[in-house]
Structure 1
Amino acid sequence: MLKAKPALCPFCGRPIAPPQNLGFQYSDFDAGFCDCGAVYVSDVTGHNQGAAFVEALLLACGGNWDLAWELSPEEDYQEYVLEHYDQKSHQVFGDPSDRVSVRGVLYFLRLVDEIRELSAEKIAKLKQEKRKTETPPEGFKPKRLRRQEIEELLRKDKSQEVVFHCRFLPVNLSTLRKVLYSADPLLRWKAILTLGEAAQAVLKSRPDIVADLIKRLIYSSADSAASAWGALETVGEIIRREPERFGLFVKNLFAFLKYPEFRPAALWALYRIGEKKPSLIRGERVFVLVELLKDATPETRALATLACASSKILEALKELKKLTNDDTEVEIFNPEKQIFERRTIADLAKEAIEKIEKEN
């Protein structure tokens, strides 16, 4: 018999109403509000916690993106994750043996009193101060690009033109995203890198569009591995460029490591993020990365090696030393040279060991 208990607010201890579709234009999850001022969002899968956090923060701020992105954890709000939540019964299952079958979570967030009590006038003033208006450089006329036009620009290594068109006409991000479905592997990778840069450019004036893009990329991966080529890798590129704003989505990437079909993409993303902000990776369950160094799939071992190396994970040294005799070859995309390279896992492991030992 499973042990179940009612869902309670972690901040005030009172029972909460079942989450529901609130009907807001910026809300994708079922959510609710506690009388104590907390907001809660239901993630039925358990691996969209980053997106659930964004949703909760936005709801708490009344849909004000500019205010939401200015807030700092602990100082401006508190958060809590209630695990093993089943939305159908609106109960929490605490039996450790049931942790696999009940994966849903309730994500709670409560702003500090002073933030909740901000007057509409102060919020409007903050929004006015933070919103930036930009005009295209002289002689440059942004236009809505067709997929074929974007592909041609990427083939000619004119990614900066694509970035400019996205920056001043963000609708182009959606078209650029379609290139991820290209049958040409090199073109897909160029689209991934360009999407990361373009998203950073759009972020200056429309953070809401970039946050929505990340959520859609994660959703598409969760729905179907076959139709999500490049999605998680793109999430990694966006976080890599804006780790302070989007680092919370690293939890989502770790969640995807449970599933073999998603591991290469998620590992690639973590490897790229680790190069710029290793603390984001080291703050998560790094033992998962260490375990994947023993995976039966060569590509997974290779990418786990890169991820451990980029974040300088000391706990990985023992397993990495075992890989120095692994002469299996894998094909790895080099983002700096934008070419595919054949590397042995042994060579990757030796390089990883050198980086980690040098750091520690």
Structure 2
Amino acid sequence: MNRLFKEEALIFLQERKLNELADVIIKKRSRIKNLLRLLYSTDAILRWRAIEAVGVVVDKLADNDYEAARNIIRSLFWSINDESGGIGWSAPECIGEIIYRRPVDFKEFASIIISFTDEEMLLPGVLWAAGRIAQADPELVREFVPELVGYIDNPNPVVRGYILRFLYIIGEKAPLDYNSCLLDDFNMVPVYENGFLKETSVAELARLHIQR
């Protein structure tokens, strides 16, 4: 990564100046590759802000070069395809963020990203994407509720938490009658909202359904 741009990008992400970062990248589009590398960062807050930034970049780019914006989405799908030679960490979250920002323009990608639920390593990201898309247009993912609710007893607490969050966002009640143990599940789940990464428990996410 170009050292000067790397330092600039890190500052923008740390300060959450995503529009400014997007403007810099769009002026020299080859820099999008540098931003995409940050999706692999071990710094969780930096990685989540990079995910958010990719959404902003694609949103802005689509205003002037719709096909270039779609190509970025295709490259993200390519990164999670076996043919790419590796797993695209954070790609599902990125795709969800992009669709959230442009639900009308990119709605056809919603069903495609949901189809990756059979990839265990990608499942948390796919469920996060489903929730993010639901925040913009619940109808894009509503048909998948019967399929996704089956992951509510998954051994991964993050998966359990994200399916509870997805169901809450979309306005569907979690089947707690058959999964009451979730109300006493204090495993922690990372949740990124409004630029901040917090930890909540599966139990707290389950209780939202009771409080509704």
Q: Contact conserved, 2:52 with 2:94, CA < 8 A, in 1?
A: yes
Q: Secondary structure at the match of 2:191?
A: strand
| RMSD of aligned Cα (Å) | 2.2
Partner of 2:112: 252
Higher helix share: 2
Q: 1:220 to 1:318 in 2, by over 3 A?
A: same
Q: Percent identity?
A: 26
Deviations 1:196-247 (A, max 9, x none): 0111011000111111111110111123796422111000000001011111
Q: Secondary structure at the match of 1:232?
A: helix
For structure 1, the 5+ residue unaligned runs are 1-144, 356-360
Matching residue within 136, 143, 150 for 2:9: 150
Partner of 1:90: none
Shift of 1:323: 4.8
CA distance in 2, matches of 1:324, 1:193: 29
Higher strand share: 1
For structure 2, the 5+ residue unaligned runs are none
Deviations 1:306-329 (A, max 9, x none): 111111125x44568625523222
1:352 aligns with 2:212: no
1:336 counterpart letter in structure 2: N
Q: 1:155 to 1:337 in 2, by over 3 A?
A: closer
Partner of 1:193: 52
Partner of 1:281: 141
Q: Contact conserved, 1:192 with 1:233, CA < 8 A, in 2?
A: yes
CA distance in 2, matches of 1:326, 1:274: 26
Q: Contact conserved, 1:320 with 1:352, CA < 8 A, in 2?
A: no
CA distance in 1, matches of 2:121, 2:147: 16
CA distance in 1, matches of 2:181, 2:137: 25
Q: Contact conserved, 2:39 with 2:50, CA < 8 A, in 1?
A: yes
Partner of 1:234: 94
TM-score, with length taken from structure 2: 0.88
Query: Larger relative CO (CA 8 A, sep 6+): 1 or 2?
Result: 2
1:310 aligns with 2:169: yes
Q: 1:245 to 1:323 in 2, by over 3 A?
A: farther
Q: Paired residues, what number? A: 208
Q: Contact conserved, 1:302 with 1:348, CA < 8 A, in 2?
A: yes
Matching residue within 20, 38, 41 for 1:182: 41
Q: Contact conserved, 2:79 with 2:86, CA < 8 A, in 1?
A: no
Deviations 1:72-94 (A, max 9, x none): xxxxxxxxxxxxxxxxxxxxxxx
1:325 aligns with 2:183: yes
Q: Contact conserved, 2:80 with 2:87, CA < 8 A, in 1?
A: yes
Q: 1:264 to 1:320 in 2, by over 3 A?
A: farther
1:218 aligns with 2:77: yes
